[in-house]
Structure 1
Amino acid sequence: MIQRIIELGKGYGDIYELCEQARVNKDRIHRAFIFSSKKDGKEYHSIAIALKPTNAANFFPIYMCSEGIPNVQPISKRLSHFIETLDELQLKAVHLDIRHSSSFADSELFYQYLIGILRLNHFIPPLEINNYNPIL
């Protein structure tokens, strides 16, 4: 199974697109996530939804808006809109503290790290290896 993070943006107007993706694909949602990370003493949130593969497809997408939502009190309107959308769909988000993407050399390493965290904690299915024949 191919598991890939698809970044919609940095968490500004694209949050509304992510919420619409959730509504349209409500029967496919595997889990929703709110990630927290720190950079320069400030905390930021990323939000994501993981969708189950369609029919025979071997693709597990994780749509994400990354690190554009500052952690403020009261809660930001963008984050509250995501939470309200999840409430409407009768879902709860999994909250995780992660490293900030700026601590990685490039975004692909960050995405691999994030997928590894999600697999390790059983929030997404394990990687399936079909017909694996190691060379001895």
Structure 2
Amino acid sequence: MIQKFIELGQGYGDIFELCELMTTNTNRIHHTFAFVSEHNGGKVASIAVAMKPVGESKFMPIYICREGIPYNPENQSKRFKLFEDAVAENNQLLITLDVKNSSIYVDTSLYYQYLTGALRLYHYIPALY
């Protein structure tokens, strides 16, 4: 199974696109994620949706809005709340993981390899075969 992160943006206007992808592909949702990291003294979240492969395909897309949403569990931003509502409307469980910030990686592809490894390690996505 090949998994690939598809970055929609950094969670500003593109969060609406991510929520719409969830609504129109409800039967394909595998898992929903919030990747929380430290950045400039605060916490930020990346939100993502892993979709099941289409038909006989071995390709699993993971749509992500990377690190543009402030994260505070006691007082969530409207953008994060919008994602939480979309997750609930689609009868999904939001999996929250504390991860390293992408700014410590030279290239975002290395960051996505790190996230893929973590998701495989915890069996949230299938192994590479």
Q: Which moved more, 1:34-43 or 1:15-24?
A: 34-43
Q: Which has the larger radius of gyration?
A: 1
Q: In terms of mean alpha carbon deviation, does 71-80 or 118-127 score higher?
A: 71-80
Query: Aligned pair 1:102/2:106, yes or no?
Result: no
CA displacement at 1:57 relative to structure 2: 1.2
Segments of 4+ moved more than 4 angstroms: none
Aligned to 1:131: none
Q: Which residue of 2 aligns with 1:12?
A: 12
Secondary structure of 2:114's aligned partner: helix
The answer to whether the aligner puts 1:77 opposite 2:71 as a matched pair is no
Across the aligned residues of Structure 1 and Structure 2, the Cα RMSD in angstroms comes to 0.9
Aligned partners of 1:57 and 1:104: how far apart in 2? 30
Query: Any residues of structure 2 matched to 1:33-112 within 5 Å, and which?
Result: 33-72=33-72, 73-112=74-113
AA partner of residue 34 (structure 1):
A
Q: Aligned AA for 1:127?
A: L
Return the offset for 1:39.
1.5
Q: Give the share of equivalent positions with the same residue, in percent.
A: 48
CA positional deviation for 1:2: 1.5
Describe the SS at the equivalent of 1:111: helix
* Aligned counterparts of 1:69 and 1:39: Cα–Cα separation in 2: 11
Q: In structure 2, what residue type is equivalent to 1:23? A: T
Aligned residues: 128
Structure-2 separation of matches of 1:68 and 1:85: 18
TM-score, normalising length: structure 1 = 0.91
Q: TM-score w.r.t. structure 2 length?
A: 0.96
1:134 corresponds in structure 2 to: none
